[in-house]
Every structure is written in C-alpha cells, then in structure tokens.
Amino acid sequence: MTSFESLANGRSGQADATYHPTTNDRQDKGAWHTCYVGLGSNLANDLGSPVEHLQQALAGLQGHNDICNVSISSFYASSPMGPQDQPDFVNAVAGFETRLTAFELLAFCQQLEQSAKRARLRRWGERSLDVDILLYGDLQMTETQLTIPHAGLFERNFVLIPLRELAPNLTIAGVSITDCPQSSDWTGLTRLSST
C-alpha cells in the first residue's frame, strides 16, 4: 500500500474508496457535519500537474473512512491573488459530510498538502496543493490555527463561484451566497471543466 492510500484511509490497512456510512453508523459513531474545502494548485512537481494534485486530493477525501458523500465543483483557472510572477491557479471546491472534528479535518487537509510535497516558498505564492477548510457546518470560530468560515471567503471569487455551483442555496454566517458579490464576479476566472 502506498503512503497516499494510508493517508486516504485515515489508518493503516487497505484504502476503501467505496465506504459510505449507513444510518446506523451515523447514530452509533457521533455527529456528522456538512463541510466545504477549497482546493488550489499552480505548481507541477514529480507527483503531477495542478489538475492531478486536485484529483489526488479528491481521491484522498473520497477514501477517508470518516468522510462521505463527497461532491466536487468544476475546475477553474484563476489569476494568482498574490505575486503576479507565478502561473495561474487551478481551483475547485469539494463538499462532503464528516465526523472528524474541525481540528482533525485541518490535520487531514495538511496531510493532503504534504502528500503533494507542498512547499511554502512565499506568502500567497506558488504551491503544489492548498486545501483550506471553508465551512464546517454552522461553526464559527477564530483560533490561531483555524478560522471558520475561512477568513478570506467573502473576497475570493475563485472560492465563492465553485462553492455557489455546489450549494446555490447556501447561507454563510447569515448571508445568502447569492448576495455575496464575488459569487457572481468572473474577473480573472475561467471554467476548465464541469463534473
């Protein structure tokens, strides 16, 4: 088994991409939360292209035993938000249910980044994979390591447009996603594929 399969499975043993908790599992194993994460990449490496990095992260989410009902937005090309001397990004949003805590989910997102050999070269710079928790149920929190909803959510069309694609009736901290101006501003954004 590869280290990626172990990571996706959330424990040692064979990865099981077809596992979906039943109603009894949900009652016996605790609360499930609807979550959304942003995926982004603009740096190829020996593990793949930006699109492949997003696809591998999606496979990791789908294969984790404590994550189910994974859906993915279209992939989008976006102009870099930070320094402009870097390639355009490929972005998407994944939605799913999880019984991981917010901090367990954060740790898993960071493991996904590490599995793509993410290197932090500079702030808002190029990266092989970025996996950010956007929303975790109705939770609102501000901690040193984690802010939910994501601190830059309302300013980023490359997050809000794919999020609106997945959940057009979503309300974020009392605000309808359709009322967020960036959720309909296509400046610097191009749809690459639809799922």
pLDDT in tens, 63-72: 999 999 999 9
What pLDDT, on the 0 to 100 scale, is given for residue 167?
A: 96
Read off the amino acid at residue 128: S
CB 190 within 8 A of CB 74: no
Closest to 195 in 3D by CA, of 94, 95, 72, 78: 72
Average pLDDT, rounded, for the chain: 83
SS3 192: strand
Q: Does residue 181 carry a pLDDT above 70?
A: yes
Mean pLDDT value of segment 114-119: 85
pLDDT at 169: 96
Quick: pLDDT tens for 12-28: 333 333 333 443 343 34
pTM reported for the whole predicted model: 0.82
Residues forming the active site: 118, 127, 130, 132
User: What b/e readout covers 111-139, taking b as 16+ CB neighbours within 10 angstroms?
Assistant: bbbebbebeeeeeeebbbbbbbbbbbeee
pLDDT digits (tens, 9 = 90+) for 119-165: 767 677 678 899 999 999 999 999 999 999 998 899 999 999 999 99
Q: What is the DSSP string of 53-69?
A: HHHHHHHHHHH-TTEEE
